[in-house]
Amino acid sequence: MARVSSPRKERRLTEERKRFILEKVAKEGRVLVSDLTGELSISAVTVRNDLNALAREGLILRTHGGAVNVDSALMDRALGEKEKLHGGEKAAIAQKAVSFVHEGQSVILDSGSTTTAIARAMKQFNNITVITNAVNIALELSEAQGIEVILTAGTLRQRSYSLVGHLTEATLSQLTADIFFLGVDGVDPVFGFTTPNLAEASVNQAMIRIAREVIVVTDHSKFGRRSLAVICPPDGVDRIITDRGVTESHVGEFRSLGVNVVRA
């Protein structure tokens, strides 16, 4: 005859699982249902119930396929901090990104550490125009002889060295571009592409409107994450360039929406 666990024992096991999950989120920044099922030897349904309970308590932020630390999901990190994370992956993404650019084209680069890596990789071109709202990217390209740089007007955000606001969007409305390389902080197959700052999201939307092709450039750690402000829906871009750390399930989710995913 099967032994039935007492309610007290079940509560204790549940609290132990929750404590394990919180410690893992605090250490790694995110957890996946698929990982927790193996580590805790429980079903996916039980893991999801635990995650949902922790999310209701405000201790984590639930994402598709897992959960993230509330602070890390909403944090508007300074550019210098971002550049210290996943440097090798961002360099590989940048090299792949420039392979989609041709001489004579106009390219939009928004602010961010991955788009800054793309700017460095673009110095090989002899005849392109770069439109950007990022002061550091304009400075990075200021001595590149073959690149004409158009820096938008706007209000400076010191954390990201980006220009935002009405003047930025007014400048963009007078331009068109062949490609927009969009850096994001969250990639979710339900909510789409997100960023921690509302003003940045609004500028990104203006950039999308004037670009013929929109390519998201992001490392694998952003998949399954959701930040504060939605830039566009999951099928609102043409292509995603990421690194080889991205999971097959995440790739499949976006390919099913008609978005081409490229691993660098």
Share of the chain above pLDDT 90, in %: 62
What is the average per-residue pLDDT within 64-72?
72
Name the band, by pLDDT with cuts 50, 70 and 90, for residue 2: very low
Domain spanning 79-263, CATH class: alpha beta
Domain map of the chain by residue range? 7-73, 79-263
Name the band, by pLDDT with cuts 50, 70 and 90, for residue 243: very high
The pLDDT assigned to 90 comes to 92
CATH fold for the domain made of 7-73: Arc Repressor Mutant, subunit A (1.10.10)
pLDDT per position as a tens digit, 187-232: 999 889 999 889 999 999 999 999 999 999 999 988 988 888 899 9
The pLDDT assigned to 212 comes to 98
The pLDDT assigned to 206 comes to 98
Backbone angles phi, psi at 66, to 5 degrees: 175, -140
The pLDDT assigned to 70 comes to 63
Please tell me if the domain spanning 7-73 has the same topology as the one spanning 79-263. Answer: no
pTM confidence score: 0.73
The pLDDT assigned to 74 comes to 52
Name the band, by pLDDT with cuts 50, 70 and 90, for residue 1: very low
